[in-house]
Structure 1
């Protein structure tokens, strides 16, 4: 484990000189709120290293060294977002083995499934839900973490060969560029959308006012206790409480038996605040806002769907990989306006 400035400084020349680099990360999203970057795994021809971001290291030199390489990663979107938040990290390029597998038509594209299929390697995944903020790491946690990058280079080599053989390497390169663009920026958060959790579409406007207050109360509770929000109350329970409160029903029966008296009082205050919101300040309903397709647009949608499904079957791909149905609806309404948002290979597969 690299957990001192001296050890990190000694490793940087090795990292900079490496002809290839595989990277993964671990966070504590199941155990803390907000989540934090807890571990960075790096594999090069010299071996596997674990870097400890919780040891107070200055990660900038490490991220600068990583940025100089084309990185091999698996399911890179989550890792890239973690590294962006940790130090505004933007890699020069990424080879994502999960994306490669999907473009080859693999239906089970987890790392363990791919390693077993292509390399005959079996992984122990028992540490998948471990608390990665724990120190020291157990030997099993260390072994699990190292295995997440140890086999990525030979796996990437096999997948690259398959992509070249099927003429899909350019698809993968474009998909990885898009992935990097989307994951190395600050997401735009709509304050009127973030609290609309599962079940909110069933509520009245007054119910939404109560739900909004409950969501903000739960967010404060989660941060104060450093536990994910679902440990406080699940999304569905918030929506059910809001509906019951508006109907004048006893919503306290929906709470878990071990819900503390302090939290119970805080929740009741949140419900009261929501019920006291005047009608002119109730949130607007969001359902049914999209206009119906015209007959011409509906015919165009059916043709796009037929074409997409035929191409997907021909290529052995999931249809949604070419374009999800929601995207097809937008294309049916306005091809010229929406098509540029597709990747080039997706447009080519959908065009006549």
Structure 2
């Protein structure tokens, strides 16, 4: 389901080495300054990528930043040695930055003082063009006919020194990113979707940093199994303690203690070291160091007065889960079904995923609390307040108005 002919499977050429070889890692002020000068003198868009240590480290910071630009070649920057990229940011302020899945890398780049003003997101472009698989390796193979080796995507990039094969992999991630951008730009233009893509890229850049979650411990995987308030208190105390330990040690929380261990402890509420270590994950090397602390946290939860126990989670400010709509508000359930059918048909017509044509949350909120007057003007205004972009509103507002008004006219609402 794409707007352009793609490279047949099996005909891709392996991309094994960067054209100019693996660039040296920039790890001092002089090297960074030289890189800034070189890239400022380059031409065209700049390909950027960042490698993190997700699953290994507590923070989401970058441990390697890769760049490539025509006339400048490629560069690998070590942010642990060069944590301030604000000079690079200034030098490239008017330059289009090419990222793949930009929302993943923009936060860690911003921490370094690098904040693109103009963006081309090759993953998002692929979605708008209807590519079914939009990972970088697949897109490069499908669009350019080149095969990237993706063996180190889940590596611990906080490792020092970085192995040569990891550096090769990192350099190759930006090697043809601008070429991919150029091909996708051409396809967007040919399909009439370029203006839509530019709106989407701007929206990614302007997305505010999410506010910290209240009660983040409630997102513990498997917490739905914990039915008692005392058990929820155990989850809360263990989660908070684990978070403190993980932050102090700069370890991913799951490497300190997995969620499954927290949930099991909340169900069993052990009172002794023996009972706690009967829960297998508590015998792991990292968790075992803190056995006394885990038991103390559980004891705190056991001793809390009833008035201080956490209560079951309350609904947020949005609609309830859609599987409850038929019972709670049958009319809203009919509106949702009608709206989803409209969005699905339009998405199919324009060859893109439904969630890129109109965000599912916007569809839910619109149909749970529609405007009192079901006409184009009020539907457009409602979609605008829900964060829909102008191109999305232009495509969906009138068909949604017709569908919802038809239900209203039939007396189904």
Compute the TM-score of the two structures, normalised by the length of structure 1. 0.91
1:112 to 117, 121, 137: 137
RMSD: 2.4
Establish whether residue 296 from structure 1 lines up as the match of residue 323 from structure 2: no
The alpha-carbon deviation at position 130 of structure 1 amounts to 2.2
In structure 2, stretches of 5+ residues that fail to align are: 1-24, 372-380, 400-413
Q: Distance in 1 between matches of 2:217 and 2:94?
A: 36
Q: Which residue of 2 aligns with 1:73?
A: 99
1:128 aligns to 2:153 (yes or no): yes
Tell me, in whole angstroms, the C-alpha distance in 1 between the residues paired with 2:336 and 2:84: 52
Q: 2: CA distance between counterparts of 1:301 and 1:246?
A: 46
Question: Are residues 1:286 and 2:310 paired?
Answer: no
- Correspondences of 1:2-13 after superposition (within 5 Å): 2-13=26-37
Residue of structure 2 equivalent to 1:26 = 51
Shift of 1:320: 2.4
Query: Separation in 2 of the partners of 1:114 and 1:286?
Result: 41
Unaligned runs of 5+ in 1: none
What is the 5 A alignment of 1:1-352? 1-19=25-43, 20-46=45-71, 47-56=73-82, 58-87=84-113, 89-182=114-207, 185-203=208-226, 204-245=228-269, 250=275, 252-256=277-281, 257-259=283-285, 261-286=288-313, 292=325, 294-336=329-371, 338-340=382-384, 341-351=387-397, 352=399
The CA distance in 2 between the partners of 1:194 and 1:90, in whole Å, is 31
SS state at 1:21 partner: strand
Greater shift, 302-311 or 277-286, is seen at 277-286
Taking the aligned partners of 2:65 and 2:265, their CA distance within structure 1 comes to 40
- Alpha-carbon deviation of 1:32? 2.0
CA contact (8 A) 1:195 1:215 kept: no
Question: Structure 2: how far apart are the matches of 1:79 and 1:267?
Answer: 35
Q: CA deviation at 1:11?
A: 2.4
- Residue 273 of structure 1 and its aligned partner are, at CA, apart by 1.0
8 Å CA contact retained: 1:5, 1:58 = no
Q: Following the alignment from structure 1 to structure 2, what is the Cα–Cα distance between the partners of residues 247 and 266?
A: 12
User: What is the Cα deviation at residue 97 of structure 1?
Assistant: 0.2
Greater C-alpha radius of gyration: 2
Q: Determine if contact 1:199/1:239 at 8 Å carries over to the other structure.
A: yes
Change (3 A) 1:189 1:338: farther
Contact residue 51 and residue 64 of structure 2 kept, 8 A: yes
